[in-house]
């Protein structure tokens, strides 16, 4: 780039292109709403920079030189690229365009939520691809978001990372459930579980899902100076309801997650005798995709899916 001048003005390149295409200083001055002497001065500067007259007199007015003619395409290309850099982003057309969307989420969401998100993407943007990623303590989701390997992370945090963009999806009341025909369930009404019973019953809990964070249940109990009797930990959250059907274990989580299993498995849901805060689920994303039209579209789709599930 040693041959370039220290200051190359994009406006000068626009004047170059217009002079070569219009072949008339006066018409270029009118197009740019500038005085003719200013355009003539720009032509002199362009001649100095290129070492070529660029425009010369012909039989019917001015015509580009051979070198001038060769500069038209590169000048147009530079102007087009500059326009792409600084003009408004083109809206995403989901029915026509194809994108790959990477979403990370734990499997303790409402069992219908992610399937509904995938169904909505397939319906609204059939050419696009969706990749669902898991979350675990070994997953550095902050780095993956900043590197562009994840587009959205969906989970529940007491305090989501402050430097990420966030929108709340839904809140979920916390309850617990167990096998409907176990001895305790048979003798206890759904709203009659006592605190000593709750803490002493054998619990199954998910393994650590996010680095340094064990979830709202354990965090809240710890703040209250309470300790439940966790006898099983499972990294496979979606398998826990099936464990309940064959054991005396108790599971504590959001009611939306329980809804599907309560209908389809022999399980009984109880009101928890602890004033847990609701589980608050968010979608998080990085500044790097904050303004991208396709990512705005995806976040709105995820949000509308959550709202539709809440209204069921």
Query: What kind and span of H or E run contains 270?
Result: strand 267-271
Q: Does residue 85 register a pLDDT over 80?
A: no
Query: What kind and span of H or E run contains 113?
Result: helix 113-124
Q: Does residue 98 register a pLDDT over 90?
A: yes
Res. 88 pLDDT band, cuts 50 70 90? low
Provide the pLDDT for residue 311: 67
Q: How far apart are CA 221 and CA 11, in angstroms?
A: 65
Provide the pLDDT for residue 1: 44
CA dihedral 229, 231, 232, 233 (to 10 degrees): 50
54 contacts 65 by C-beta, under 8 angstroms: yes
- Give 184's contacts (C-beta < 8 A, 6+ positions apart): 178, 197, 201, 248
Q: Are strands 100-104 and 152-156 parallel, antiparallel or unpaired?
A: parallel
Provide the pLDDT for residue 210: 58
Q: Does residue 306 register a pLDDT over 70?
A: yes
127 contacts 94 by C-beta, under 8 angstroms: no
265-278: average pLDDT: 95
Res. 244 pLDDT band, cuts 50 70 90? very high
Cβ burial, residue 303 (10 Å; 0-12/13-18/19+) = middle
Provide the pLDDT for residue 280: 86
**DSSP secondary structure string, 51-96?**
TS--EEEETTEEEE-HHHHHHHHHHHHHHHHHHHHHSPPPPP-TTT
Provide the pLDDT for residue 312: 64
Helices (H), 161-254: 183-187, 195-200, 216-223, 240-244
HSE, side-chain direction, 13 A CA sphere, residue 144? 17
Provide the pLDDT for residue 240: 94
In whole numbers, what is the pLDDT of the chain averaged over residues? 88
């Amino acid at each position: 780039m040693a041959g370039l001048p220290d200051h190359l003005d994009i406006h000068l390149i626009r004047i170059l292109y217009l002079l070569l295409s219009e072949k008339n200083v006066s018409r270029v001055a009118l197009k740019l709403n500038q005085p003719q002497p200013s355009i003539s001065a720009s032509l002199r500067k362009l001649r100095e920079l290129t070492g070529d007259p660029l425009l010369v007199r012909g039989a019917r007015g001015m015509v580009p030189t051979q070198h001038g003619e060769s500069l038209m395409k590169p000048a147009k290309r530079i102007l087009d690229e500059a326009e792409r850099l600084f003009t408004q982003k083109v809206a995403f057309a989901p029915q026509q365009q194809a994108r790959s969307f990477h979403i990370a989420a734990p499997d303790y969401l409402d069992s219908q939520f992610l399937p509904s998100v995938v169904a909505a993407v397939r319906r609204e943007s059939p050419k696009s691809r969706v990749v669902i990623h898991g979350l675990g303590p070994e997953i550095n989701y902050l780095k993956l978001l900043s590197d562009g390997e994840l587009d959205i992370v969906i989970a529940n945090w007491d305090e989501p990372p402050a430097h990420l963009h966030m929108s709340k999806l839904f809140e979920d009341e916390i309850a617990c459930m167990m096998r409907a025909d176990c001895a305790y369930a048979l003798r206890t009404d759904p709203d009659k579980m006592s605190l000593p019973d709750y803490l002493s019953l054998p619990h199954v809990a998910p393994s650590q899902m996010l680095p340094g964070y064990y979830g709202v249940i354990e965090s809240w109990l710890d703040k209250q100076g309470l300790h439940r009797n966790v006898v099983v930990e499972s990294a496979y959250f979606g398998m826990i309801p099936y464990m309940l059907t064959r054991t005396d274990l108790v599971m504590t989580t959001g009611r939306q997650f329980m809804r599907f299993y309560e209908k389809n498995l022999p399980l009984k849901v109880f009101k928890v005798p602890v004033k847990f805060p609701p589980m608050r689920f968010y979608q998080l994303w990085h500044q790097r995709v904050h303004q991208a039209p396709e990512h705005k579209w995806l976040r709105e789709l995820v949000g509308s899916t959550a709202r539709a599930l809440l209204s069921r």
